Structures are given as structure tokens and as C-alpha cells.
């Protein structure tokens, strides 16, 4: 390590300990229910496997490991890995920045990453992006060592970490594609045929169990991914969703920051030196690809998250070269937004749109509906529940984790629409049960209307029916 890269770790580690510690404290006092995806990831972890319906398996393993370690499935423990993993990612990004641009850029990179709004959200809600990130940045760090003359061991490590990143989320493949693209255009970014082959080989080795699982399960996760990229399956000509693209880009100003995003894009265009251009090849194509998806169909705000790993270093480097004032303003603004994101789950009922719903409505009231369903089943003397809504199923399985109730997903016998229908579809010989639906199922007798006035299901119709025997949707 050169002298300009030394001395960054102590201030960076201090930042990580303080900010991650504060986020853990906020998480402890949070009142928000597990979101539907979080409850699903927890449920996956109850049956460890090499793959699941919509995602690779690493997030389920992480949640299962944490909850088994502490002996509790409470929401705090399900989410605890999230802020810790982002802290690790921040330090790895700092190490990468130090080796490319020096100590000052490294420390500012750590501060900038930790205050990104998307990281603040990802430190409260555990997601596949969060689990993928440290492995992907670690892979890039090892790969940079390869480019600077490191031996085959670094190539093996880089490939293994790329594979683990993809076991967290398939978006980890952007890292492999980015280094390959850079190798085409930048001579200094070419690892050599042997090292390049080792990186690819070990990435496939570590992703291999999930590849095998997909082939053994009718390519379930691949099929779901194609469903998300909906224009791939469309037989009709593609229609241009210009408003969707503009909405996606506007969202990126929020998730990355109104100062950082233009600085990142301009840095990709103007960056000198092969390391800067290398980071640009790792970052900008991701934003362009996801923007294209937004134009062709739709894209969620977090789908471009990988762009902001290398993109954070680029933006910080670019702004520091032009004075630290804008960068300081960016960190201060993002820190305010991130503080609000951390506090909101603690006081959800105090944050409302005028006299309307809480700003945290989509994270509230899920367990109340599940408890009402379970209480109804007990009153009716039935221990079998069938539900048609994925969100309700996700929380119902979580909330009923210590009960003796058997829960099934409504199924029409076709290709499963979600994990619960894939693994917990109602049997053909179903007897007496309670069916939770949004409309009259044309069988049984309605016994309750559980539609809430507030929370995640406000405005939804949640009807409970007493049913004898099978009931076709």
C-alpha cells in the first residue's frame, strides 16, 4: 500500500462503529412489522436450500444463522444483519477507494456510502442487495489486486466472492460483466487469460449449487426473473414507457442523492486514469441497463444499486478534486434523509399525510390482520387456513410460527405465482378450513370481514369463509 493510501482505516472504522451502532439502536426500538419480502426470506430460512422461488439462497442462510445464534425470530434479529453488512461494505469500499485514489477519498467514501438513503433503507429492511454488497465489493478489491500483479490466489478469491455475491442476488453478475467490459477497452484492466479463467471458474463453482437447484426445479428462479423483465416474454411490439423512465431517474436522485447522481454520471464521462475508467465500466452500464428496463417496462428504485458501489467512489473522487464543499453538502443532506428513515419506524403513528395514513402504513398492521385470522380460526375450532394473497401468506406463516395451525396457499393448479403456492399449495383432499380471500369464492359461508381501515391492507377486502372440502378459485 502506498503512503497516500495509509491512515484511512482508523477514521473510517470510527464512522462505521458510530453510525452502524446508532442504526442498531434505532432498529431495536422500531415498531414496524416485517415487510412481505422480509417475512418470506425468514420463511425460506426455515428450510435451508440452494435456491428459492424468486431469489438465490444467501439471504435465507444469513437470517437463519442470526436467528439460530440468538435463539429468537423477533423482527429485530431478522433485520440485525442488515446494518452490520452495510458497515462491512462501507469498509471494503474504503479499502478499494484507498488503493485507487488515496486516504482522503477513502474516508469520504465510507462517510458517503453510510449516509446514502438507499443504504439507510437497506439498514432497516434486510434485502438481497444488502447481502450481496460486501461480497461484490470484496470481489472487486481482490480483482484489483490481480490487475496490479497479484498471483492466482487473488484470482481464485475474486471469483469465489463474485460467486457468493450472485448467491446473494443475481445482480452480482453486473460485477463480472463490468470487469469483462473494462478488459475489452482498457489494457491495464486485463487480468491475463489464466487469471481471467480462474475468476470465471470459481465464480461458477460458488454459484454452482444454485445453478443445479434451478435445473432441478424447472428453472424456477430464472422464470421469475423473466417475469420481472416482462418485455422479454411479450409477443406484441415493445411500447416505450417514457414516464416510467423519468420516474425511475427521479427516484435515483432520492436513493443516491441529488448531488451525487449528477457527479457520478459526469465523473464517468470525464474521469481520467485507467482506475477511474475501470470504476466507470463497473458502474455506468448498470444504470444504463436498468434505465432501459424502466423504458421498456418498469424498474424498481433499488435495481441500480450495484451502480452505486463503484459509483460512490467515483462521485466522491470527482467532487473532492473540485473542492469538498459540494461533497460536504451532499453528505449533510443525505445524512438528514437517512436520519429520518431511521427514526420513522420508531414513531410510525406520528408521521402522517395530514389526517390520512401514516407514512409507514405499508409496514404496519400486517401482524394485526394475521392475529385476527388466527383468533378467528381458534373461535371456529379449525386449524387449517387457506389464503390467496401472497402478502397475507407471508405474514401469516411468520406470525403463526409457534402455533399448531396448518396454512396453505390457494392454487389453481397452474404455474405457481409465488413461493407459497409452489411449496404450500392446498391439497386436493382438503377438509374443513377457513379461506381468506378478497372476493366471494363461490363456496362456503362468510364468517367475518377482516378488512382494516389503516395499515398495509387499508382499502383491501379481506374476507374469511368457513369452507367444507375443496374450493376451486
Cβ-Cβ contacts under 8 Å for 376 (sequence gap 6 or more)? 434, 447, 448, 450, 464
- Based on C-alpha coordinates, what's the Rg of the chain? 24
Q: How confident is the model at residue 1 (pLDDT cuts 50, 70, 90)?
A: very low
Please tell me the number of Cα atoms within 13 Å of 259 on its side-chain side: 19
pLDDT for the residue 342: 94
Secondary structure (3-state) at 385: strand
pLDDT per residue over 293-318, tens digit each?
999 888 888 999 999 999 999 999 99
Give the global pTM.
0.93
Question: Rounded distance, CA 51 to CA 62, Å?
Answer: 13
Residues 258, 333: Cα–Cα separation, whole Å: 9
CA separation for the pair 110, 9 (Å, rounded)? 10
Instruction: Note the pLDDT of residue 472.
Output: 63
pLDDT value at 347 more than 60: yes
- Strands 445-449, 463-467: pairing kind: antiparallel
- For 115: left if phi > 0, alpha if psi spans -120 to 50, otherwise beta; the answer is alpha
pLDDT in tens, 122-181: 999 999 999 999 999 999 999 999 999 988 999 999 999 999 999 999 999 999 999 999
Query: What nine digits make up the cell of 417?
Result: 405465482
Residue 238 has pLDDT above 70, yes or no: no
Q: How many CB atoms lie within 10 A of CB 324?
A: 15
DSSP label at 13?
H
- Count, residues in the chain: 473
- Residue 209 is placed in which grid cell? 449449487
The residues near 397 (Cβ < 8 Å, ≥ 6 apart) are: 39, 43, 407, 420, 424
What are the grid coordinates assigned to 164, written together?
A: 457468493
Grid cell, residue 279, equals 470504476
Residue 348 DSSP symbol: G
The Cα 41–Cα 75 span in angstroms is: 12
Whether 409 contacts 433, CB under 8 Å: no
Whole-number mean pLDDT of the chain? 91
Show the cell assigned to 219: 428453472
Name the H helices within 301-439: 307-320, 325-343, 366-380, 390-399, 419-423
pLDDT at 323: 80
- The residue ranking higher by pLDDT, 239 or 409, is 409
Predicted pLDDT of residue 226: 64
Q: What is the DSSP secondary structure assignment for residue 350, as one 8-state letter?
A: G
Q: What is the largest CA-CA distance in the chain?
A: 76
Separation of alpha carbons 349 and 281, rounded Å = 44
pLDDT exceeds 60 at position 231: no
When pLDDT is cut at 50, 70 and 90, the band that residue 185 belongs to is very high
**Structural contact between residues 223 and 85, judged by C-beta atoms closer than 8 angstroms:** no
What is the residue extent of each domain of the chain?
A: 3-343, 365-467
3-state secondary structure of 437: strand
Amino acid at each position: 500500500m502506498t503512503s497516500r493510501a495509509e491512515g484511512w482505516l482508523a477514521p473510517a472504522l470510527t464512522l462505521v462503529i458510530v453510525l452502524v451502532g446508532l442504526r442498531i439502536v434505532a432498529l431495536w426500538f422500531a415498531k414496524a412489522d416485517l415487510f412481505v419480502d422480509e417475512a418470506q426470506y425468514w420463511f425460506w430460512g426455515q428450510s435451508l436450500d440452494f435456491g428459492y422461488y424468486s431469489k438465490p439462497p444467501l439471504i435465507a442462510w444469513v437470517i437463519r444463522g442470526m436467528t439460530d445464534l440468538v435463539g429468537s425470530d423477533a423482527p429485530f434479529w431478522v433485520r440485525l444483519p442488515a446494518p452490520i453488512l452495510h458497515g462491512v461494505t462501507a469498509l471494503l469500499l474504503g479499502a478499494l477507494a484507498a488503493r485507487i485514489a488515496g486516504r482522503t477519498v477513502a474516508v469520504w467514501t465510507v462517510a458517503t456510502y453510510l449516509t446514502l438513503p438507499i443504504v439507510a433503507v437497506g439498514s432497516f429492511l434486510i434485502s438481497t442487495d444488502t447481502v450481496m454488497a460486501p461480497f461484490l465489493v470484496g470481489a472487486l478489491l481482490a480483482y484489483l489486486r490481480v490487475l496490479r500483479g497479484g498471483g492466482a490466489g487473488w484470482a481464485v478469491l475474486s471469483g469465489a466472492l463474485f460467486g457468493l455475491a450472485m448467491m446473494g442476488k443475481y445482480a452480482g453478475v453486473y460485477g463480472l460483466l463490468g470487469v469483462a467490459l473494462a478488459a475489452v477497452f482498457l489494457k491495464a484492466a486485463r487480468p491475463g487469460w489464466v487469471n481471467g479463467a480462474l475468476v470465471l471458474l470459481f465464480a461458477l463453482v460458488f454459484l454452482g449449487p444454485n445453478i443445479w437447484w434451478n435445473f432441478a426445479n424447472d428453472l424456477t428462479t430464472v422464470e421469475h426473473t423473466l417475469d420481472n423483465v416482462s418485455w422479454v416474454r411479450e409477443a406484441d411490439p415493445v411500447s416505450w414507457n417514457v414516464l416510467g423512465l423519468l420516474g425511475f431517474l427521479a427516484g435515483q436522485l432520492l436513493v443516491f442523492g441529488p448531488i451525487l447522481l449528477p457527479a457520478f454520471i459526469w465523473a464517468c464521462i470525464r474521469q481520467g486514469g485507467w482506475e477511474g475508467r475501470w470504476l466507470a465500466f463497473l458502474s455506468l452500464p448498470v444504470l444504463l441497463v436498468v434505465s432501459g428496463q424502466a423504458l421498456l417496462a418498469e424498474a424498481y428504485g433499488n435495481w441500480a444499486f450495484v451502480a452505486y458501489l463503484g459509483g460512490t467512489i467515483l462521485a466522491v473522487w470527482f467532487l473532492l478534486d473540485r473542492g469538498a464543499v459540494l461533497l460536504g453538502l451532499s453528505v449533510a443532506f443525505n445524512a438528514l434523509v437517512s436520519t429520518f428513515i431511521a427514526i420513522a419506524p420508531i414513531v410510525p403513528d406520528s408521521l402522517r399525510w395530514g389526517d390520512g395514513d401514516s407514512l409507514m402504513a405499508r409496514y404496519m398492521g400486517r401482524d394485526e390482520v394475521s392475529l385476527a385470522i388466527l383468533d378467528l380460526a381458534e373461535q371456529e375450532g379449525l386449524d387449517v387456513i387457506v389464503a390467496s394473497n401472497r402478502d397475507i401468506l407471508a405474514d401469516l406463516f411468520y406470525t403463526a410460527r409457534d402455533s399448531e395451525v396448518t396454512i396453505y396457499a390457494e392454487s389453481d393448479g397452474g404455474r405457481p405465482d409465488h413461493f407459497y403456492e409452489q411449496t404450500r399449495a392446498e391439497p386436493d383432499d382438503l377438509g374443513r378450513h377457513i379461506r381468506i380471500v378478497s372476493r366471494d369464492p363461490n363456496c362456503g359461508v362468510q364468517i367475518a370481514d377482516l378488512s382494516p381501515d389503516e395499515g398495509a391492507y387499508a382499502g383491501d377486502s379481506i374476507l374469511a369463509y368457513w369452507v367444507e372440502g375443496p374450493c376451486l378459485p
